[in-house]
Amino acid sequence: MSNNSYLAFGDKQNNLCDLVSNNTKNFRDDLDLEDSDLRSCALRLAQKGDYSQAIALLSQLIRRHPQNAIDYNNRGLIYFQSGETQKAFCDYNTALQINPSLASAYNNRANYYAACGKLAAAIADYDRAIDLNPSHVRARINRGITWRELGQYEEAIENFDVALLFGQLEGHIWAERGRTYHLWGDWNCAIADYRRALTQLPQRKDAPGWRLRRQLENWLNELLSPEHPDSLS
């Protein structure tokens, strides 16, 4: 997989629970917690990097509801984030067997294919996610990154242009479109997009998008450095 940040979760819940603090290792299937509480706790733990406990909670949910495609999809994503990519792939496939219309599972499986260098398969899954949910901006961004990886810069730019129409994740889109212009050799457009993205991406280390901001700053410095033959001030 390249250094680009493919975007994943399409089913995150914002109201993460505070019911679980330091005792997740003692969770049992008979604990009287609502499904929504378990899901919220699992996602919160994953955000903190406690992947093993997040997976344990989602596995508990899957035992309760073995036909819930979203739980398989979310567990697959956490497996993927923890480096257990083959388990992630299996969970994505199970999710899609249960619900062939789950757009976020196609996006997540496409990210797996992209990480493995199977870019044509990734494009096919991103296409399917977008067919099912045209407003799936994450899939559009990821598809643009993959077109760029394939050297199809014009297709990537057109993809990012359409993604901007939805008014979501604009900082991410400008950053990735700027990188595409950068690699394509249009440094003026690249610098303009990088600067737009910097107005949107967070400066806090714990905020989503911070790593992309740091990467973008490096890309911009590369273009503006005195050593660059076409640097602009």
Q: Domains along the chain?
A: 1-133 (1.25.40.10), 144-233 (1.25.40.10)
* Angle (nearest 5°) at CA 98 between 97 and 102: 90
pLDDT at 13: 38
* Arithmetic mean of pLDDT, 58-72: 95
33 to each of 41, 165, 203, 211, how far by Cα in Å?
A: 11, 41, 36, 34
What integer pLDDT is reported at residue 1 of this predicted model?
42
Please give the Cα distance from 114 to 152 (Å, whole number): 15
pLDDT digits over 115-170, tens only? Answer: 999 999 999 999 999 999 999 999 999 999 999 999 999 999 999 999 999 999 99
Burial class (CB in 10 A: 0-12, 13-18, 19+), 43: buried
For residue 38, name the pLDDT band (cuts at 50, 70, 90). Answer: confident
% residues pLDDT > 70 (the chain): 82
For the cut 90, the answer to whether the pLDDT of residue 31 exceeds it is no
In which band, very low, low, confident or very high, does the pLDDT at 35 lie, cut at 50, 70 and 90?
confident
**pTM of the entire structure?**
0.84
d(CA 121, CA 165): 26
pLDDT of the residue at 226:
64
Backbone angles phi, psi at 170, to 5 degrees: -65, -35
Mean pLDDT (whole number) for 190-218: 91
CA distances to 162, 177, 184, 195, 225 from 217, in Å: 24, 14, 18, 9, 12
- What is the 3-class SS of the chain, one letter each residue? CCCCCCCCCCCCCCCCCCCCCCCHHHCCCCCCCCHHHHHHHHHHHHHCCCHHHHHHHHHHHHHHCCCCHHHHHHHHHHHHHCCCHHHHHHHHHHHHHHCCCCHHHHHHHHHHHHHCCCHHHHHHHHHHHHHHCCCCHHHHHHHHHHHHHCCCHHHHHHHHHHHHCCCCCHHHHHHHHHHHHHHHCCHHHHHHHHHHHHCCCCCCCCCCCHHHHHHHHHHHHHHHCCCCCCCCC
Arithmetic mean of pLDDT over the chain: 87
Tell me what pLDDT residue 145 has: 98
Q: pLDDT by residue (tens digit) across 168-180?
A: 999 999 999 999 9
